[in-house]
Amino acid sequence: MFRLDELVARLGGELVGDGALVVRRVATLDQAGEGDLAFLANPKYLSRLKSSRAAAVIVGHKARDAVTDRPRIVADDPYLYYAQVASVFNPPPPPRPGVHPLAAVSSPVPASVQIDAGAVVEADVEIGDDVVIGAGCSIGQGVRIGAGTRLAPRVVVYAGSVIGRDCIVHSGAVIGSDGFGFAREQNGRWIKIPQMGRVVIGDDVEIGANTTIDRGALDDTVIGRGAKLDNQIQIAHNVQIGEDTAIAGCVGIAGSTTIGARCMIAGGVGIAGHLTIADDVVVSAATVVVKSIHRPGVYTSTLPLQAHADWVKNFSHLRHLDALAERVRALEQEAQRLPDKNSDQTPG
Amino acid sequence: MFRLDELVARLGGELVGDGALVVRRVATLDQAGEGDLAFLANPKYLSRLKSSRAAAVIVGHKARDAVTDRPRIVADDPYLYYAQVASVFNPPPPPRPGVHPLAAVSSPVPASVQIDAGAVVEADVEIGDDVVIGAGCSIGQGVRIGAGTRLAPRVVVYAGSVIGRDCIVHSGAVIGSDGFGFAREQNGRWIKIPQMGRVVIGDDVEIGANTTIDRGALDDTVIGRGAKLDNQIQIAHNVQIGEDTAIAGCVGIAGSTTIGARCMIAGGVGIAGHLTIADDVVVSAATVVVKSIHRPGVYTSTLPLQAHADWVKNFSHLRHLDALAERVRALEQEAQRLPDKNSDQTPG
Amino acid sequence: MFRLDELVARLGGELVGDGALVVRRVATLDQAGEGDLAFLANPKYLSRLKSSRAAAVIVGHKARDAVTDRPRIVADDPYLYYAQVASVFNPPPPPRPGVHPLAAVSSPVPASVQIDAGAVVEADVEIGDDVVIGAGCSIGQGVRIGAGTRLAPRVVVYAGSVIGRDCIVHSGAVIGSDGFGFAREQNGRWIKIPQMGRVVIGDDVEIGANTTIDRGALDDTVIGRGAKLDNQIQIAHNVQIGEDTAIAGCVGIAGSTTIGARCMIAGGVGIAGHLTIADDVVVSAATVVVKSIHRPGVYTSTLPLQAHADWVKNFSHLRHLDALAERVRALEQEAQRLPDKNSDQTPG
C-alpha cells in the first residue's frame, strides 16, 4: 500500500488531487475497484476511464482533466509510469538463501544464493550474489552467472555459457546447446562439427520459456544487454542480438545472423542465416526475412487471410503470376500498335 | 481381451455376426492379425477392408455388408467408435500412490496421489485425488490441481496457476511463466511490467509437450474446458481459449486474443494480439490471422508451394502487383476509348 | 596439439609445406592466431585467407597456392576436412561412469554408463555401454537406448521408446509424448484416442534442444539412421523420416507424413499430414508443404519481404488476384475482336 504522494516522490509525474490517498494495487480500468490505481494508456479507452471505479488514475497530459472526481497522476507516458508503479507494488520476491539438500552443487556459491531442490551445479561455476537457481535447473561446468540473475525451474545452461547480471530466464529455456553444424560426405552422410563457441548473454536480459540459444561453432553467440526474448524463440549458433532489441514468441533466427540494437521483431518471424539487420528495424508478425536489412523502418511479408473459398480462387493465380504479367505485357504491346486513340480515325 | 458383445453392450452400435468372438486389441486394417479388431473410418480404404486379416471390424452403415466373412460392429461414426474401443482396451495406468523419497513436497497431498522422483511441490499447493505428478515436475506456491489430472515428467507450473480435473499435461510444458510485457523508455530500454495474473485451465484439457502458456498481466489467461492443445504451442498473456477448441502443433497466439468455442486451429498458425475469433472457426495450416474473425467458417492464407525455379519467376511479381494492377487499369481505360468493337468500322 | 603430418596421416589430403608444424586448434580465418589451423571453405573469402594470421590452412585444390608463406593441407572438400579435424581436436568428453546418488534408477545398467543427478530411469529399461544420461533426464519404462548415445540434461523419453547407438539428444527434447489424436463427438467434445505406437530412432541421429517427437497412434513414429534434427522441431505421430535427412530449426511435420532419405528441410518449414516427400528433396526456409512431392528438387513458397508501405500497396491485390486475372482475360477477348493489327486499316 502506498500513498499517491509517495509514488510521485519516487517516480515523478504531477499529482492532481489528494496525495494522501492510499492505493493498494494497480489494475485495469475495467477491473479496478476501491483502493485501486488504474491507468489510461490509450486515448481510445477514455470512456472506460469515466466509468471506472478506480480510486485514482494515471493519465497523460491531454487526459489531465478528463475525470475530475478523483486524484490523478499525470505522466508523460502513462504506460511506462504504470510499469514503474506496478514494479513498486510487485517487487520480485527476495531470494531465500541456501542450497536445498536435494540439489547437487559442485561449486562454491555465495551465501546469498538460493538453489532449489533438484538443481545441479557442476564444477568451476561462478555465481554472483543473490542469484536464484530454480528447481531442477542444470548448470554446466564453467558457467558464469552474474549477480541478481534469476533462473526459473528447469532451465538448462550448458558448459561454458556466460549470463550477465539481473537477467531473468524462464522455465524450459536451453542456453548453450550445440549449434546445428554438419559437413556432408559424398555419400550423403553428415559429419558433426564440434561446437566450441559459447553463449554470452549481457546484463538485464530476459529469456522466455522454452527458448533455445545455441552455442557458437568457433566464435560465440551473443545476446546484448537489455535484450528481451519471449517464449519458444530459436537462436542459432553465432547469432548476435543487439542491445535493447525485443523479440516476440516463436521467432527463429538462423546461424551467423547479426541483429542490431533496439529492433522489434514480432511473433512468428523467421530470419535466414548470415544476414545483417540494422539498428531500429521493426519486422511485422510472421514475416520471413531472407535478405539483409540495411535501413531502419518497418518490414513486412505477412499474407492477408481470406475465407477459404476466396483464397482458393485468388491464391491459385499466384502460381501463374509470371504468365499473367506476360499477358499484360502482350496486351500493352498490342495497344501500342493500334492507331493512336487520340487521332481522328474517321476516314476522310 | 473383450468379447464383441461386451463391447457393444458397453459402447452401443449394432453387432452383425458372432458376438462371442474375443478380440485382444484394436489395430489398423493393414496391421491387424488374428484376434484384432480393425476399423474402416474412411470409405476410400474399402479395398484394405477386404484384404485385412482382422478378426472383426468396426464399419459405418454403408459398409455394413462390404465384408460378410467376419463379425462387424456397425456404428454411426466408426472413427469415434474406434476411439472409444481403444480407450476400453488401453485405459491410462492407475496412479501408483505415494511420494518418492527424492521428491521435495512442501504441501499436504491426498494418499491417492503419485509424486515421482525429482518432483518439487512448493507450499500452499492444493492437489486433488488420484493426481499424478511426474518425475522432475515443478509445482509453484499456491497452485491448484484438480482430481484425476496427470502431469508427465518435467512439467513446470508457476505459482498461483489453476488446473482443472482430468487434465493431461505433457512433458516440457510450462504453465504460468511471465507474459511478455514491457514499457519502453525514451532511451529505448525496456521496463518489465510485473505479470500478476494467473493461468486458469478448465477440466478435461490436454496440453502438449513443450507448450507454453503465459500468466496474465493483470487479468488471467484462460483455457476453457475440454480444449486440446498440441505440442509447442505458445499462448501469450491474457489469451482466452473457448471450450472444446482444438489447436494443432506450433501455433502461436499473441496477447489478449480471445478464441471462441469449438474452433479448430491447424498447425503452424499465427494469431495476432487483441483479436476476437468467433465460435466454430476453422483456420487452415500456417495461416496468419491479423484481423478478428466474426463468423464461423474456414479461413486460409497458406501459400502454394512450387518448384524453386517456378517460384523465382512467379513470386518476384508479388513485389510489383500494384504496378501490374495499374497497368491493367490503364489498358482498360485505353480499351474504353477505342471505337466500340461491335460497331461497323468499315468506312462508308 | 597435433603435427600437420599426423593429421594428414589420419584424415588424408595433401600436405604442402612443413609437416612438423604443430597446431593447437582450428579457428576461422579472421580469428586464427599463432598455432591455429584455419580453413578456406568458400572461395569468396580468399582475401581473408591472405590476411589471416593462421599458422596453417586447409584449402581446396584451386586455392592450393593462393598463399605460399605457410603450410597448407589441400583437401577435396575443405569444409568436410575442417569438420573432421575439429572432431580430432575436440572429441566428446568420455563418460564418467557411475550413477549419482540423487538419481533414481530402477533398471540394471552397465558399469560404463554415466547417470547424473536428478535423472530418473524406470523399470525394464535397457541401456547400452558408454551411454550418458544427463542431469534430470526421465527415462520411461521399457525404453531401449543403444551404446554410445548421449542425452543432455532434462531429456524426457516416454515409456517404450527406442533410441539407437551413438545418438545425441539435446536438453528439453521430448521423445514419445502422445500424438494429437482425438475423435469428435456430435456435441463437439473430443474423445482421446490412446496413442499406443512407439518412437523408434535409428543409430547416429542427433536431436536438438526442445524438439518433440510424438509416439504413433497404432504404428510407430520412425526417425531413420543418420537423420539430424535441429532445435524446436515438432514431429507428429506416425511420421517417418528417412536416413541422413537433415531438418533445421522450428520445422513442424504433421501426422503420418513420410519424408525420404537425404532430404534437407530448411528452418521454419511446415509440412502437412499424410503426405509423401521423395528422397533428395530440398525445401526452402519457411515454405509450407501441403501436397506430396514426388521428385527430387528444390521447392519454395517463401514470401518476399518488403518495406511495410510497399507491402500495403502490393499485398492488398492478393485478395483480388482472381478479379485481376478476369480483367486481363476480358482485355484479351476484346483485343481479339479488334481489327487485326497487321492488316491494312486504311480505308480503300
Model confidence pLDDT, tens digit, residues A202-239: 999 999 999 999 999 999 999 999 999 999 999 999 99
Residue A318 predicted with pLDDT over 90:
no
Question: How high is the pLDDT of residue A302?
Answer: 84
Model ipTM over 0.85:
yes
The verdict on residue C344 lying in a domain is no
- Same domain, residue pair C22 and C81: yes
Asked if the model's pLDDT at residue A25 lies above 90, the reply is yes
B27 and B136 co-located in one domain: no
Q: What percent of chain A has pLDDT over 70?
A: 97
Q: In angstroms, what CA-CA distances link C238 with C172, C215, C325?
A: 21, 7, 41
Inter-chain touch B311–C289, beta carbons under 8 Å: no
Instruction: Indicate if A6 and A36 belong to the same structural domain.
Output: yes
- Give the residue on A whose Cα is nearest the Cα of C172: A172
* Residue B53 belongs to a domain: yes
Spatial separation of the C-alpha atoms in residues B104 and A102, rounded to whole Å: 8
Share of chain C above pLDDT 90, in %: 86
At which of C64, C89, C114 does a domain end? C89
Nearest CB among B120, B174, B185 relative to A80 is that of: B185
pLDDT recorded at residue C344 = 46
Query: Does the residue A348 lie in any domain?
Result: no
Which residues are CB-contacts of B6 (< 8 A; sequence separation ≥ 6)? none
Residue A61 located in a structural domain: yes
Please indicate, yes or no, if residue A344 is contained in any of the structural domains: no
Specify the pairing of strand B276-277 against strand B258-259: parallel
Average pLDDT over residues C297-326: 88
Note the residue count of chain B: 348
**pLDDT of A317 above 90:** no
Query: In C, which residues are within 8 Å of A337 by CB distance?
Result: 341
Return d(Cα B246, Cα B225) in angstroms, integer: 11
Secondary structure of residue B12 in the 3-state scheme: coil
Active site residues of A: 237
Which pLDDT does position B345 carry in this prediction?
46
How sure is the predictor about A340, in pLDDT bands with cuts at 50, 70 and 90?
low
Burial-class residue B328 by CB neighbours within 10 Å (0-12, 13-18, 19+). buried
Q: What is the mean pLDDT of residues C32-47?
A: 92
| Nearest chain C alpha carbon to B100 | C104
Residues C134 and C41 occupy one common structural domain: no
The residue among B53, C160, C326 whose CA lies nearest residue A327 is C326
Report the residue count for chain A: 348
C32 and B CB contact within 8 Å: no
Please state the rounded mean pLDDT for residues A134-153: 98
Q: Write phi, then psi, for C321 (nearest 5 degrees).
A: -60, -35
CATH number of the domain residue A49 falls in:
3.40.1390.10
Domain assignment present for residue A342? The answer is no
Mark which of C40, C60, C89 sits at the end of a domain.
C89
At A315 the pLDDT is 82
Q: Do the Cβ atoms of C194 and B86 come within 8 Å?
A: yes
A107 touches chain B (CB under 8 A): no
**pLDDT at position B302, please?**
83
In a shared domain, residues A78 and A20: yes
Assess whether A62 and A173 both reside in one domain: no
Banded pLDDT at C95 (limits 50, 70, 90): very high
Check whether C120 has a pLDDT greater than 90: yes
User: What digits encode the pLDDT tens for the residues C164-193?
Assistant: 999 999 999 999 999 999 999 999 999 999
Chain A interface test: which of B193, B299, B341 (most A C-beta within 10 Å): B193
Q: Are residues B254 and B147 in the same domain?
A: yes
Q: Chain A residues with CB inside 8 Å of B313's CB?
A: 322
The shortest C-alpha distance from B331 to chain A (Å) reads: 7
Q: Is B336 on the interface with C (CB under 8 A)?
A: no
Contacts of C93 by beta carbon, 8 Å cutoff, 6+ apart = none
A49-100 pLDDT, tens digit each: 989 999 999 999 999 999 999 999 999 999 999 999 999 999 999 999 999 9
pLDDT of residue C347: 43
Residues C132 and C272 in one domain: yes
Closest chain B residue by Cα to residue A138: B136
Please determine, for residue C346, whether its predicted confidence score (pLDDT) is greater than 70.
Answer: no
In this prediction, residue A105 carries a pLDDT of 98
Per-residue pLDDT tens for B201-243? 999 999 999 999 999 999 999 999 999 999 999 999 999 999 9
- Percentage of chain B modeled with pLDDT above 90: 86
Nearest-angstrom CA–CA distance, B162 and B166: 13
The pLDDT assigned to C340 comes to 56
Q: Looking at chain B, which residue has its C-alpha nearest residue A102?
A: B102
B323: left (phi over 0), alpha (psi -120 to 50) or beta: alpha
Both C214 and C149 in a single domain?
Answer: yes
* % of chain A surpassing 90 pLDDT: 86
CB pairs < 8 Å spanning A and C: 231
In a domain, A305, yes or no: no
Assess whether pLDDT exceeds 90 at residue B344: no
Tell me: do B111 and B168 sit in the same domain. Answer: yes
List CB contacts (< 8 A) between A326 and chain C: none
Kindly state the average pLDDT of the residues A96-118: 98
In this complex, the residue of B210, B249, B345 whose CB is nearest that of residue C210 is B210
pLDDT tens-digit readout, A257-267: 999 999 999 99
Phi, psi of A4, deg, nearest 5: -55, -40
**Of residues B347, B341, B337, B338, the one with CA closest to residue A347:** B347
Confidence of residue B339 (pLDDT cuts 50, 70, 90): low
Is C61 a known active-site residue?
Answer: no
Question: What is each CA distance from C345 to A345, B341, B347, C336, in whole angstroms?
Answer: 10, 14, 10, 15
In this structure, what CATH number is given to the domain that contains residue A202? Answer: 2.160.10.10
**C246 vs chain A: nearest CA distance in angstroms?**
9
Optimal mutation site among C301, C315, C320, C332, interface B, most CBs of chain B within 10 A:
C301
Number of domains in chain C: 3
- Domain boundary among the residues C43, C71, C89 is at C89
- pLDDT at C348 exceeding the cut of 60: no
Is C200 among the domain residues? Answer: yes
Helix A308-315 to helix C321-337 angle, to the nearest 10 degrees?
40
pLDDT tens track for B16-62: 999 999 999 999 999 999 999 999 998 888 999 999 999 999 999 99
End-to-end CA distance of chain B, in Å? 96
- In the set C100, C237, C274, C308, the catalytic residue is C237
Q: What average pLDDT does range C74-103 have in this prediction?
A: 96
Q: Which residues pair with B38 in a beta bridge?
A: B57
For residues A143-158, average pLDDT: 98
The shortest CB-CB distance from C138 to any of B31, B136, B304 is to B136
The identity of residue A250, as a single letter, is: C
Instruction: Look at strands B104-105 and B98-99 and give their pairing.
Output: unpaired
pLDDT at C341 over 80: no
Q: C84: domain range?
A: 2-89
- Say whether residue A272 is in contact with chain C using an 8 A CB cutoff: yes
d(CA C61, CA C64): 5
In this structure, the answer to whether residues C40 and C120 fall within a common structural domain is no
Q: Given this model, what pLDDT does residue B348 score?
A: 38
The helix, strand and coil proportions of chain C, stated in percent and rounded to the nearest 5, come to 15, 25, 55
Co-location of C112 and C68 in the same domain? no
* Residue B340 pLDDT level (bands cut at 50, 70, 90): low
Q: Closest-CA residue in chain A for B105?
A: A117
In this prediction, residue C237 has a pLDDT band, given cuts at 50, 70 and 90, of very high
- What pLDDT sits at residue A339? 63
